[in-house]
Structure 1
Amino acid sequence: MIEELTADTLPAALPELAALLEACVADGASIGFLHPMPAGEAAAWWRGLEGSLRDGSRRVLVARRAGRIAGTGALALAGLPNGRHRAEVSKLMVHPEMRRQGIARVLMLALEDVARAEERPLLVLDTKAGDAGEPLYRALGWREAGSIPGYALRSGGGADATVFYYKTL
Structure 2
Amino acid sequence: MKEHTTFQAGNPQTRIKKSLEKSAPSHRFYSQEHLESDLHGNTDRKINDKLIRTFDDVQLLSEGDLIYSMISGQGALVSKKHAGYLFTQNFVKIEPHKDVSKKYLLYLLNENTKVKKQIELKLQGSMVRKVTISVLKDIVLPVLPNFEKQELIGSLYLNQLRLETLKMKRLNQEHLVMMETLTRITDGV
TM value normalised by structure 1: 0.29
Higher relative strand content: 1
- RCO (CA 8 Å, sep 6+): is it higher in 1 or 2? 2
- With structure 2 as the length reference, what TM-score do the two structures score? 0.27
Larger Rg: 2
